[in-house]
């Protein structure tokens, strides 16, 4: 038996006796001695040092986890968390800027801003603490809003952006931008809808009505294709332009779109303190960035001219039976557009706040295609107006001179025996270039190109802008088509099986120089090349905007560089101008009805054939063109009238006469 066991037995026997208290002297020990004794005691109690290592490893692991989490939050997700934190405490909302007003050249207002009410929804009201949408609550509100707003909320017409419901619209926008507080539902909702929303306020939590402004197009029909209209910013608008944000109003067509950044100005920002659920704490807000109004824009157009020419064109289309029409008047000395009318127009005010599906579908199904801006986008054969360019190029290249004579006769054929003739198989006899322009001789120009080279003519046509964009400051312009051998072969090999993949030096070249074949131009191209002929060889960039003025009154002139100078020699152009003058004022010309206008004008007519042939081998459809400039001695304006499927150009002379008579009587020269 061990000594310890004997000691325990003795102790247990004495435990029943009353203990005696006696003084015990405890020796004093240093700190080291105490630690040594504790360690010795631990060792005597069989406690291993590895236990302390386990504890150390455990706490080290916990510290590592905390450290990694901290690094992830501060560095990896730091920017995102900072942003979320900011938006969870301060809600930043956009203050729309005042859109610039648009005026004509004389300061007459064409577009203005008028009061309107817009409907928004505050998405914060539908979010839980995890920032997730309460779908049932949002569905209920969306259903009521669809009942009240009808189609008014369907504002975006882009093909890639249609919403099946208000709920889908809100959910999609919030998913793309979770920091957006107020989501636009509809602009310009009107008093009835506004009253209905207010009366059902308890059923529509989060729905906000804001007093804003909308565009009003004062002379909508006359300027529809020029001014365009505005609408809600689409996903593509936001993605393609850094300055555009959700809920912004942006230009969709015309001047509104082309100069959107200038007109839009800069939105402001307002801050509101919110709680964790995104609800306002104080109910008040403060401005952190002041909005900057857009600049006002002054155009080169004259409202009086635009209105009068639209009325004349309306009558002309009705009398001629044309499908549509265009008139353009350009200052030959700088490219400023005095008037540009495309008929029929449409009411752009219907697009403000969202056009109804019924109205939009009616525009799409209208056979007259009112949404087409014919002035810049109608690509059609130019007919005999094209001979002015061919004449200028041939004279400049010395392929012909004023002494060159070709004979206009019946029975004219190519070397292959294929026939080629004047209009209605006329015969004009011996002609020089001036007479050929006045008579519009097909055979003279065919002989010219047969004795020249199409490849040498093509660069001249390009220099006058054929097959090229003029760069006019209106979206939607089309380039037309240059009648080159390369282009014909390309078309034949890429979707035009009715064409042979070969250029016929006689047939294709002769068709091209009289404005047929694969040649396509637009009215803006034609009025621009007529201006270059009139001014002696400078091809200006046609434009509609003249200057802008900011809210402080600072004026910025908009500068446009010419597209080309000295395109051909002045001597060559003088001959062409003489031929155009002779069309009106000589006995050989066919447009003598224009002699009594009070100013001498120079013109070239063109009847462009298209479509299928009838049983007689004649084209059943023709476009009518008349283009030129005035006054002849000191040209100021070039002009063009285009009647789509409008018959013969000769029959259209009364319409252009009415246009020119009014312009000259009104002292536009």
Residue where a domain terminates, one of 299, 323, 356: 299
SS3 content of the chain, % helix, strand, coil (to 5): 40, 20, 40
**Residue 56 counted as domain residue:** no
Residue 492 sits in which domain range? 303-345+373-665
Query: What mean pLDDT is predicted for residues 635-639?
Result: 98
Q: List strands edge to edge, sheet with 268-274.
A: 90-95, 268-274, 280-289
190/327 same-domain check: no
The span from the first CA to the last CA of the chain, in angstroms, equals 139
Q: What is the 3-state secondary structure (H, E, C) of 352-375?
A: CCCCCHHHHHHHHHCCCCCCCCHH
182/322 same-domain check: no
**Residue 190 counted as domain residue:** yes
207/316 same-domain check: no
pLDDT band at residue 284 under the 50/70/90 scheme:
low
Note the pLDDT tens digit of each residue in 492-530: 999 898 899 999 999 999 999 999 999 999 999 999 999
Answer for the pair 406, 447: CB distance below 8 angstroms, yes or no: yes
308/225 same-domain check: no
Task: Tell me the Ramachandran region of residue 205: left when phi exceeds 0, alpha when psi lies from -120 to 50, beta otherwise.
Answer: beta
User: What pLDDT does 21 receive?
Assistant: 40
Residue 146 belongs to domain with CATH number:
3.90.1310.10
Query: What mean pLDDT is predicted for residues 285-289?
Result: 83
Task: Tally Cβ neighbours within 10 Å of residue 229.
Answer: 23
630/554 same-domain check: yes
427/529 same-domain check: yes
**Residue 170 counted as domain residue:** yes
Answer for the pair 432, 404: CB distance below 8 angstroms, yes or no: yes
Q: Report the candidate in 166, 149, 526 with the shortest Cα–Cα distance to residue 374.
A: 526
Note the pLDDT tens digit of each residue in 322-338: 999 999 999 999 999 99
**Residue 84 counted as domain residue:** no
Q: Please state, in angstroms and rounded to a whole number, the distance separating the CA atoms of residues 656 and 137.
A: 64
**Residue 12 counted as domain residue:** no
Residue 581's φ and ψ, nearest 5 degrees, are -65, -40
User: What pLDDT does 62 receive?
Assistant: 75
Q: What is the count of structural domains for the chain? A: 2
**Residue 274 counted as domain residue:** no
504/625 same-domain check: yes
- Tell me: pLDDT of 168 over 60: yes
Note the pLDDT tens digit of each residue in 410-467: 999 999 999 999 998 999 999 999 999 999 999 999 999 999 999 999 999 999 999 9
User: What pLDDT does 272 receive?
Assistant: 75
544/474 same-domain check: yes
pLDDT band at residue 404 under the 50/70/90 scheme:
very high
**Residue 612 counted as domain residue:** yes
User: What pLDDT does 66 receive?
Assistant: 75
307/184 same-domain check: no
**Given the structure tokens 């219907």, which residue do they identify?**
350
Instruction: Count Cβ neighbours within 10 Å for each residue of 609-624 and write b for 16 or more, e otherwise.
Output: beeeeeeeeeeeebbb
Residue 524 belongs to domain with CATH number:
3.40.710.10
183/235 same-domain check: yes
494/632 same-domain check: yes
| pTM of the complete model | 0.82
207/321 same-domain check: no
CA angle 21, 23, 27 (to 5 degrees): 140
Instruction: Count Cβ neighbours within 10 Å for each residue of 505-532 and write b for 16 or more, e otherwise.
Output: ebbbbbbbbbbbbbbbbbbbbbbbbbbb
How confident is the prediction for the chain on average, in pLDDT?
87
pLDDT band at residue 539 under the 50/70/90 scheme:
very high
**Residue 400 counted as domain residue:** yes
Task: Tally Cβ neighbours within 10 Å of residue 174.
Answer: 21
């Amino acid at each position: 038996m061990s000594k310890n066991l004997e000691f325990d037995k003795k102790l247990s026997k004495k435990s029943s006796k009353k203990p005696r208290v006696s003084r015990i002297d405890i020796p004093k020990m240093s700190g080291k001695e105490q630690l040594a004794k504790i360690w010795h005691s631990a060792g005597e109690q069989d406690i291993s040092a590895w236990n302390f290592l386990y504890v150390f490893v455990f706490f080290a692991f916990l510290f590592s986890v905390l450290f990694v989490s901290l690094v992830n939050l501060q560095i990896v997700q730091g920017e995102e968390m900072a942003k979320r934190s900011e938006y969870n405490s301060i809600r930043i909302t956009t203050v729309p800027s005042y859109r610039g007003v648009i005026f004509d050249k004389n300061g007459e207002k064409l577009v203005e801003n008028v009061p309107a009410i817009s409907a928004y929804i505050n998405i914060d009201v539908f979010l839980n603490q995890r920032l997730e949408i309460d779908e049932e609550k949002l569905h209920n509100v969306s259903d009521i809003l669809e009942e009240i707003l009808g189609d008014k909320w369907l504002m975006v017409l882009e093909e890639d952006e249609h919403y099946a419901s208000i709920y889908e619209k809100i959910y999609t926008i919030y998913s793309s931008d979770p920091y957006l507080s107020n989501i636009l539902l509809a602009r310009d909702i009107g008093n009835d809808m506004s009253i209905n929303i207010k009366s059902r306020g308890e059923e529509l939590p989060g729905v906000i009505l804001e007093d804003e402004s909308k565009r009003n197009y004062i002379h909508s029909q006359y300027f529809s294709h020029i001014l365009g209209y505005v609408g809600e910013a689409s996903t593509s608008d936001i993605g393609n332009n850094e300055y555009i944000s959700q809920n912004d109003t942006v230009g969709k067509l015309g001047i509104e779109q082309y100069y959107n950044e200038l007109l839009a100005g800069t939105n402001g920002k307002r801050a509101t303190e919110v709680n964790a659920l995104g609800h306002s704490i104080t109910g008040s807000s403060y401005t952190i960035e002041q909005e900057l109004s857009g600049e006002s824009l002054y155009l080169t157009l004259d409202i009086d001219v635009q209105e009068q020419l639209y009325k004349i064109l309306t009558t002309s289309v009705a009398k001629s039976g044309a499908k549509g029409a265009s008139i353009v008047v350009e200052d030959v000395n700088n490219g400023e557009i005095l008037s540009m009318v495309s008929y029929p127009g449409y009411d752009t005010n219907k697009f403000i706040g969202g056009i109804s599906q019924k109205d939009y579908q009616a525009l799409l199904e209208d056979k007259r295609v009112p949404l087409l801006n014919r002035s810049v986008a109608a690509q059609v054969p130019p007919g005999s107006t094209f001979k002015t360019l061919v004449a200028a190029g041939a004279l400049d290249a010395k392929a012909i001179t004023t002494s060159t004579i070709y004979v206009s006769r019946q029975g004219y054929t190519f070397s292959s025996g294929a026939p080629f003739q004047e209009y209605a198989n006329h015969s004009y006899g011996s002609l020089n270039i001036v007479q050929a322009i006045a008579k519009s001789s097909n055979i003279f120009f065919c002989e010219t190109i047969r004795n020249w080279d199409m490849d040498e003519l093509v660069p001249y046509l390009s220099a006058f802008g054929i097959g090229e964009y003029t760069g006019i400051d209106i979206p939607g312009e089309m380039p037309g088509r240059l009648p080159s051998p390369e282009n014909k072969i390309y078309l034949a090999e890429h979707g035009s099986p009715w064409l042979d993949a070969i250029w016929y030096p006689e047939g294709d070249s002769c068709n091209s120089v009289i404005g047929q074949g694969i040649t396509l131009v637009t009215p803006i191209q034609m009025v621009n090349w007529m201006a270059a002929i009139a001014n002696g060889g400078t091809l200006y960039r046609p434009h509609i905007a003249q200057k802008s003025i900011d809210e402080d009154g600072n004026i910025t002139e908009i500068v446009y560089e010419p597209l080309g100078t000295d395109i051909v020699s002045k001597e060559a152009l003088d001959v062409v101008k003489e031929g155009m003058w002779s069309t009106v004022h000589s006995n050989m010309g066919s447009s003598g009805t224009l002699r009594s206008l009070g100013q001498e004008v120079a013109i070239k007519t063109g009847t462009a054939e298209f479509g299928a042939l009838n049983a007689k081998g004649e084209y059943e459809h023709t476009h009518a063109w008349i283009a030129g400039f005035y006054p002849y001695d000191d040209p100021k304006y070039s002009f063009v009238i285009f009647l789509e499927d409008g018959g013969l150009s000769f029959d259209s002379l009364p319409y252009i006469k009415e246009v020119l008579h009014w312009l000259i009587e009104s002292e536009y020269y």
